[in-house]
Amino acid sequence: MNPAIRISIGALAISLATPAFAQIDFSGEWAPAYHEDGPERVPGPEIGDYLGMPLNEAARLQADSYDADRISVVNEYECRPHSADYGMRGLGDLRVTREINPTTQDLIAFHTYMPAWGSVRTIYMDGRPHPPDYAEHTWQGFSTGVWDGNTLIITTTHLKANYLRRNGIASSDKRTLTEYWARHRDYLTVVTHVVDPVMLTEPLVRSQNWTLDPGQKSQRMFCEYQPEVPGAPGAVPNHLPGANPFLHEVADWYGLPYEATRGGANTLYPEYQLTMPKPDKPPPAKCERFCVCTVLQDCNLHGAPPPR
Amino acid sequence: MQHRMSRVVLAAWALLGLAGRLEAQPNRGGPPQNFDNVELHLIPVQGNVYMLIGAGGNMTVQVGNEGVLLVDTMYAPLAPRIAAEIKKLSPGMIQYIIDTHVHGDHVGGNEALAKLGAPGASPTDTGGATIIAHENVVNRMTKPATAGQTPTATPGLPNDEYFTPTKDLYFNGEPIFIIHEPNAHTDGDSIVLFRRSDVISTGDIFTPERYPFIDRERGGSVQGLLDALNHIIHLTVPAHLQEGGTRVIPGHGRLCDEAEVVEFRNMITIVRDRVQDLIKKGMTLDQVKAAKPTLDYDTEFGSGDTFVEAVYQSLKNPPAKAASPR
């Protein structure tokens, strides 16, 4: 056979053996960027801030009933980690590694580690099915990924109930998380899409970014829960319906219409501005609260929070 | 034809001795129309404990050199298939059955499965497995339907009752604690702790995918239920970062750990607090229901009316404190 033809056939064979889809490598140490939704993520959301959340009536009442003492009084909450969806919002140093089949060189899975709560995820890329409904749920759920061009689409089920925002907006164990991972050189963007039939009237879509940081040294997470606040055994701090005195604070501090802070799908879109009521209190003349929050440590330096 | 079918079905249930016991389970959906269509799923939990999911209450299966121990027995018509599933795990005979409570979807298979037990294993020496339950379960199963009638033993009646706060035994190389939880789902609830395998079987005290059924007619109460759930939380130890560790097999629904019990307990506590507040304001049951104290949980669990009514009634008329402290 003509050597040129043989080389061509060989090249063809190699190309056929390579998966037809893209395989972007997300491996590396990624440092989170907090420029997007900063105050919500660090230092964290205010009580009563449901802005941008397509909540249903049930989720809103659950959030209204939330008493922040709960995370101290209910000891089991002290070490409760962020689940896979909220983990992307939190204190998210992120390490990604690949697991490759040494024989076939196929990608079996991506593994992620976040030192905040020591969260470990596996994103299976080998086409395995999700477990049946009766299988255990976990904080990080069960994830599988597929490629759409250079975008990795991850579907996560079997999540434990957790929170959509850590101010009492709960998520249910019936939610499905879809993520879209895209790498642009040293930047990673992850768009999350949460469908929660129990808490939301439409999907909750958020985006987060990281920058590649090869020198990042992730820490180990320790947590051991302890009684922090004396309380009656089995107490679950909660506000009775209509009796939470803190719900108006966020609207008043930032000069927002109270109705808008209550969330709901109708408040998400630009058309809402046409019907949005005026705030009860005007916005402050200059920033007074959490003005610079791109780094966790400086969040309270520019304007101390008003006394409660 | 439809009428004839109904009579056949009713007759079948009467023969099974289940009709009376199933009526006390509103919102449970009752037994399946056709047991042949029921899928059984046997899943490993940890240690030598497995969970069997099918129709009716979940079963717990513990296996080892000494044989097989079951917690609850689903429905009688499923017994042959349940036995076949157990045989996949162990060639040993069924030595013990523990009933978590009296309802037919948990004890329906007692008789048929006990017969598969080791001859002479029972203290009553009638052959078959020993069936353990709290004495209130036995009392409920032998109570005549009408006052003044002679009590009749239901088939599959427990033959090893206990009346103390706890009972323990050592089987298949591990300590097993049977713990009475007074006036919770019923007045005869037991949870079962497998100490080496680190698994708790809760019966219907914990049903993570539905509102709890507080069987007021059979001594259940919201405070007893909360006490039982808090006790389960006390017994469970999560592994790293609040996950895994002690596994919890609920009465219905998927395999869980402490985290799900905490969420379930929280929901009941919050609803209890709301109903208590409304009672203090002098509201009637209808007014309490109209106030929708479960509104924020109904999207997950369905209508909360039956649950709210049971909470209201058990706060207004709490059961007399039963049993001695553990």
DSSP letter for each residue of A101-164: -TTT--EEEEEEEETGGGEEEEEE-S-PPPPPTTSPPBSS-EEEEEEETTEEEEEEE-BPSEEE
Q: Report the side by side order of strands in the sheet with B189-194.
A: B166-171, B174-181, B189-194, B199-201, B247-249, B256-257
ipTM for the complex shown: 0.89
A248 vs B26, residue with greater confidence: A248
- The angle at the Cα of A129, spanning A124 to A131, to the nearest 5 degrees, equals 100
Distance from C-alpha of B253 to C-alpha of B213, rounded to nearest angstrom: 14
pLDDT of residue B149: 74
Beta strand B67-71 with B94-98 is: parallel
Closest chain A residue by Cα to residue B52: A134
Whether residue B299 and residue A134 make contact (CB cut-off 8 A), yes or no, is no
Distance from C-alpha of B325 to C-alpha of B165, rounded to nearest angstrom: 7
Closest among B31, B302, B321 to B184, alpha carbons compared: B321
- Proportion of chain B above pLDDT 70, given as a percent: 84
Per-residue pLDDT tens, chain A, 308 aa: give them: 555 555 555 444 444 444 445 689 999 999 998 888 877 887 789 999 999 999 999 999 999 999 999 998 999 999 999 999 999 987 679 999 999 999 999 999 999 999 888 899 999 999 999 999 999 999 999 999 999 999 999 999 999 999 999 999 999 999 999 999 999 999 999 999 999 999 999 999 999 999 999 999 988 888 888 888 877 889 999 999 999 999 999 999 999 999 999 999 999 999 999 999 999 999 888 877 777 655 555 555 455 544 44
B203 vs B325, residue with greater confidence: B203
Distance from C-alpha of A194 to C-alpha of B148, rounded to nearest angstrom: 60
Contacts of B41 in chain A (CB under 8 A): 132, 134
Amino acid (one-letter) located at A162: N
Average pLDDT over residues B24-46: 79
Of A62, A173, A234, the CB nearest to B269: A234
Distance from C-alpha of A98 to C-alpha of B13, rounded to nearest angstrom: 57
Of B242, B243, B299, the CB nearest to A198: B299
Shortest CA gap A308–chain B (Å): 25
Distance from C-alpha of B130 to C-alpha of B118, rounded to nearest angstrom: 9
- Chain B residues whose C-beta sits inside 8 Å of any chain A C-beta: 41, 43, 53, 226-227, 229-230, 233, 238, 240-243, 253-260, 262-263, 265-266, 269-270, 273-274, 277, 291, 293, 295-300
CB burial of B47-62 (b: ≥16 within 10 Å; e: otherwise) equals: bbbbbbbbbbbbbbbb
pLDDT of residue B192: 98
| Predicted confidence band of residue B123 (pLDDT cuts 50, 70, 90) | low
In chain B, where are the structural domains located? 35-224+231-259
Mean pLDDT of chain B: 88
B83 has pLDDT over 70: yes
pLDDT of residue A286: 81
Distance from C-alpha of A176 to C-alpha of A198, rounded to nearest angstrom: 11
Shortest CA gap B291–chain A (Å): 10
Report how far Cα B40 is from the mean position of its chain's Cα atoms.
18
pLDDT of residue A298: 55
Contacts of B227 in chain A (CB under 8 A): 234
Mean pLDDT is lowest, of A15-19, A218-222, B154-158, B257-261, for A15-19
pLDDT of residue B13: 37
Whether residue B254 and residue A199 make contact (CB cut-off 8 A), yes or no, is no
B16 has pLDDT over 50: no
Whether residue B260 and residue A161 make contact (CB cut-off 8 A), yes or no, is yes
Reduced to 3 states, what is the DSSP secondary structure of residue B130? strand
B128 vs B304, residue with greater confidence: B304
Angle in degrees, 0-180, between the axes of helices B258-280 and B305-316, rounded to the nearest 10: 60
Beta strands per DSSP E along chain B: 41-46, 49-53, 59-64, 67-71, 94-98, 130-134, 160-162, 166-171, 174-181, 189-194, 199-201, 247-249, 256-257
Contacts with A128 (C-beta within 8 Å, 6 or more apart), sequence order = A144
Average pLDDT over residues B133-139: 96
Residue A265 region by backbone torsions, left for phi larger than 0, else alpha for psi between -120 and 50, else beta: alpha
pLDDT of residue B325: 45
| Predicted confidence band of residue B119 (pLDDT cuts 50, 70, 90) | low
CA dihedral B3, B9, B12, B17 (to 10 degrees): -110
In this complex, is the C-beta atom of A199 within 8 Å of any C-beta atom belonging to chain B?
A: yes
Distance from C-alpha of B41 to C-alpha of B57, rounded to nearest angstrom: 13
- The angle at the Cα of B205, spanning B200 to B206, to the nearest 5 degrees, equals 70
Closest chain A residue by Cα to residue B228: A234
Reduced to 3 states, what is the DSSP secondary structure of residue B186? coil
In this complex, is the C-beta atom of A98 within 8 Å of any C-beta atom belonging to chain B?
A: no
| Predicted confidence band of residue B26 (pLDDT cuts 50, 70, 90) | very low
Average pLDDT over residues B187-195: 98
Burial of A26 (0-12, 13-18, 19+ CB in 10 A): buried
Whether residue A62 and residue B296 make contact (CB cut-off 8 A), yes or no, is yes
DSSP state of B243: B
pLDDT of residue B11: 36
- The angle at the Cα of B63, spanning B260 to B47, to the nearest 5 degrees, equals 45
* Residue carrying the six token digits 């606040």: A229
B3 has pLDDT over 60: no
In chain A, where are the structural domains located? 28-34+68-212
A-B C-beta contacts closer than 8 Å: 102
Mean pLDDT is lowest, of A241-245, B6-10, B71-75, B222-226, for B6-10
Whether residue A135 and residue B255 make contact (CB cut-off 8 A), yes or no, is yes
In this complex, is the C-beta atom of A71 within 8 Å of any C-beta atom belonging to chain B?
A: no
Average pLDDT over residues B135-157: 81
Distance from C-alpha of A109 to C-alpha of A107, rounded to nearest angstrom: 6
Whether residue A58 and residue B298 make contact (CB cut-off 8 A), yes or no, is yes
User: Which tokens in the block code for residue B127?
Assistant: 């052959």
Q: What architecture is domain A28-34+68-212?
A: Beta Barrel (2.40)
How many residues make up chain A in this entry?
308
- Report the 10 Å Cβ neighbour count for A156: 24
Distance from C-alpha of B48 to C-alpha of B175, rounded to nearest angstrom: 12
Reduced to 3 states, what is the DSSP secondary structure of residue A210? strand
Closest among B19, B10, B24, B16 to B188, alpha carbons compared: B24
Contacts of A225 in chain B (CB under 8 A): 242
B231 has pLDDT over 80: yes
pLDDT of residue B269: 98
Closest among B313, B305, B289, B275 to B183, alpha carbons compared: B313
pLDDT of residue B124: 54
Reduced to 3 states, what is the DSSP secondary structure of residue A190? strand
Report how far Cα A230 is from the mean position of its chain's Cα atoms.
32
| Predicted confidence band of residue B117 (pLDDT cuts 50, 70, 90) | confident
Whether residue B300 and residue A172 make contact (CB cut-off 8 A), yes or no, is yes
* The dihedral sign for the CA sequence B29, B30, B33, B38: positive
Closest among B295, B294, B317, B326 to B307, alpha carbons compared: B294
Of A56, A117, A136, the CB nearest to B254: A136
Whether residue A160 and residue B259 make contact (CB cut-off 8 A), yes or no, is yes
Whether residue A118 and residue B241 make contact (CB cut-off 8 A), yes or no, is yes
Q: Report the side by side order of strands in the sheet with B41-46.
A: B41-46, B49-53, B59-64, B67-71, B94-98, B130-134, B160-162
Answer whether CATH 3.30.1360.170 is correct for domain B35-224+231-259.
Answer: no
Amino acid (one-letter) located at B315: L
Using an 8 Å Cβ cutoff, are A48 and A247 in contact? yes
